[in-house]
Amino acid sequence: MLADSNIIIYATQPQHSTLRQFSAENSPFVSIISFVEVLGYHKLKEMEKQMLKDFFTAAEVLAVSNEVAVMAVELRQQRKMSLGDSLQENI
């Protein structure tokens, strides 16, 4: 399972315990882009930051290859899409 940034954020919120359990049982993959997007958010509180760090420790963080980057460029040329989404769609 490849978890995008929104899923990662939701998994750390108290009302989404089922998602947290599913993630814990299925060892998600995440892209390095999600790692930067989520932990790089400037308004994270210390408790949120720790929960997210724990999530990323349990997940396998995937690098972005040149092939994935080229495919992301092609996607972004075809339709309006964020950088993170275009990269994650190709991992």
The pLDDT of residue 15: 92
Say if CB 54 and CB 23 are below 8 A apart.
no
The pLDDT of residue 90: 65
The pLDDT of residue 39: 92
Query: Quick one: DSSP state of residue 42?
Result: T
The pLDDT of residue 28: 85
Say if CB 8 and CB 84 are below 8 A apart.
no
Q: Which two tokens stand for residue 68?
A: 């994935």
How many domains is the chain built from?
1
SS3 1: coil
Q: How far apart are CA 58 and CA 45, in angstroms?
A: 20
CATH label of the domain that carries residue 72: 3.40.50.1010
pTM for the structure as a whole: 0.73
Q: What is the largest CA-CA distance in the chain?
A: 39
Residue segments in the chain with a per-residue pLDDT below the cut of 70: 88, 90-91
SS3 13: coil
The pLDDT of residue 91: 63
* Residue range(s) defining the domain that contains residue 24: 5-88
